[in-house]
């Protein structure tokens, strides 16, 4: 019987009830991803800290899970047998014959858990001898230190598993196991990577697009939709959506202010406020942004301080210590880079010399004069939600 083994990441540090909760979440998410990929006939069970999926297509199942299943440390397509010695021998040798190419070297790595009438050494010797017998003529040979192929054999209490490769999972924690965050989601290079990193660490993320049209192009909105769809592909939920708030009036009001150099800080504070309003409504416990220290004028320590002051929720900035090239590398691995790097018409009213050290008192005075907080609160009342099907 073909079986995929999934091991849970970072559980060593967790208490037994927390571990059990994480395993149950992960099991549900395995089911979600497999069903989405069209699997109809599979069986899912827990076994000694691992999750096991019985399926006729172990390779395809492992592929479906390996990139997207946050919380998985490793994903291993195996063949399951009984713990009976002859059965293990037969299956291991068959697997070896199918896997090892002519002139390659191999090693058998056995492991036994519980009581068995054979030792792991015995397993290795017997399997190794029979594989050699079958493949010697093709130049196949043993190399224990640096084998081309490894035949893994795990004899556990209930069953034995034979496998030849261990696929690394994405790591992290099961999606949604750590609560919920609102992501300030522009669809540029940074914000999707920031959202993805928090998702990988177990947060459910609501991407929020502050819709600055007509001060940005139509294509700016379409890009955000496209990128949110890619990010949503990692979320094992049926209703991943891009939330958006019409920021046209807010922008108009900011444009009316006499000092263009404060525009970006006023705009960012308004965005934080809107996101915070959504967070309270959706019971999210913080914001996540793509800010990176010193990358642009609004991301100096001074301006980040002024911007953060607008909200009382914590703001998580997983990219704050990374360079643009490092963020781009991550975006490529996640699959958002191409869509985010598209040339779109960004904000057309960025001043030529935005303030890098806006004074908080002055900013607050401006906001009060413009009635910005109220306007943002009104805008946030009319939130829109576009459900994304990945």
- Interface residues with a second copy (CB under 8 A)? 9-10, 13, 15, 18, 171-173, 177-181, 194, 197-198, 200-203, 285-286, 292-296, 300-302, 304-305, 308-309, 312-326, 353, 356
Q: At what angle do helices 218-232 and 190-200 cross, to 10 degrees?
A: 20
Nearer of residues 112 and 340 to a second copy, judged by Cβ = 340
Q: How far is the CB of 280 from a second copy (least distance, A)?
A: 12
Nearer of residues 241 and 295 to a second copy, judged by Cβ = 295
Structural contact between residues 164 and 127, judged by C-beta atoms closer than 8 angstroms:
no
Residues 6+ apart with CB under 8 A from 328: 189, 337
Give the three-class secondary structure for 241: strand
Q: How far is the CB of 149 from a second copy (least distance, A)?
A: 26
Distance CA 378, CA 274 (A): 9
Nearer of residues 74 and 79 to a second copy, judged by Cβ = 74
Q: How far is the CB of 191 from a second copy (least distance, A)?
A: 13
Nearer of residues 15 and 40 to a second copy, judged by Cβ = 15
Distance CA 219, CA 216 (A): 8
- Residue 376: closest CA among 191, 187, 208, 194: 208
Q: How far is the CB of 219 from a second copy (least distance, A)?
A: 22
Residues 6+ apart with CB under 8 A from 208: 182, 183, 184, 185, 243, 244, 245, 274, 275, 278
Q: How far is the CB of 356 from a second copy (least distance, A)?
A: 8
Q: What angle do CA 386, 336, 8 make, to 5 degrees?
A: 90
Nearer of residues 208 and 334 to a second copy, judged by Cβ = 334
């Amino acid at each position: 019987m073909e079986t995929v083994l999934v091991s849970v990441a970072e559980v060593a540090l967790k208490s037994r009830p927390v571990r059990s909760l994480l395993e149950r979440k992960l099991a549900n998410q395995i089911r979600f991803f497999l069903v989405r990929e069209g699997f109809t006939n599979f069986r899912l069970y827990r076994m000694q800290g691992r999750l096991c999926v019985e399926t006729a297509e172990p390779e395809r199942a492992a592929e479906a899970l390996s990139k997207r299943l946050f919380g998985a440390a490793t994903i291993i397509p195996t063949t399951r047998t009984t713990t009976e010695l002859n059965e293990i021998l037969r299956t291991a040798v068959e697997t070896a014959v199918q896997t090892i190419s002519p002139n390659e070297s191999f090693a058998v790595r056995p492991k036994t858990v519980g009581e068995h009438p054979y030792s792991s050494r015995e397993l290795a010797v017997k399997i190794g001898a029979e594989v050699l017998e079958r493949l010697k003529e093709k130049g196949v040979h043993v190399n224990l230190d640096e084998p081309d192929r490894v035949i893994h054999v795990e004899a556990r209490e209930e069953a034995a598993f034979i496998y030849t490769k261990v696929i690394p999972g994405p790591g992290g924690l099961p999606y949604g196991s750590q609560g919920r965050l609102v992501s300030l989601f522009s669809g540029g290079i940074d914000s999707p990577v920031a959202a993805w990193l928090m998702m990988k660490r177990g947060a459910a993320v609501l991407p929020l697009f502050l819709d600055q049209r007509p001060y940005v192009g139509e294509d700016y909105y379409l890009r955000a939709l496209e990128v949110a769809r890619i990010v949503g592909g990692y979320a094992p939920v049926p209703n991943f959506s891009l939330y958006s708030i019409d920021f046209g009036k807010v922008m108009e009001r900011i444009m009316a202010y006499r000092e263009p150099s404060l525009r970006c800080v006023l705009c960012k504070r308004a965005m934080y406020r809107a996101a915070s309003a959504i967070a309270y409504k959706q019971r999210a416990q913080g914001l996540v942004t793509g800010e990176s220290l010193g990358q642009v004028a609004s991301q100096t320590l001074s301006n980040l301080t002024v911007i953060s002051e607008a909200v009382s929720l914590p703001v998580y900035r997983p990219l704050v210590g990374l360079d643009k090239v490092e963020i781009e590398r991550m975006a490529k691995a996640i699959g958002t880079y191409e869509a985010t790097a598209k040339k779109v018409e960004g904000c057309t009213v960025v001043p030529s010399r935005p303030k890098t050290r806006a004074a908080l008192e002055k900013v607050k005075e401006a906001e009060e004069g413009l009635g910005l907080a109220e306007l943002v609160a009104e805008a946030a009342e009319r939130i829109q939600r576009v459900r994304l099907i990945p």
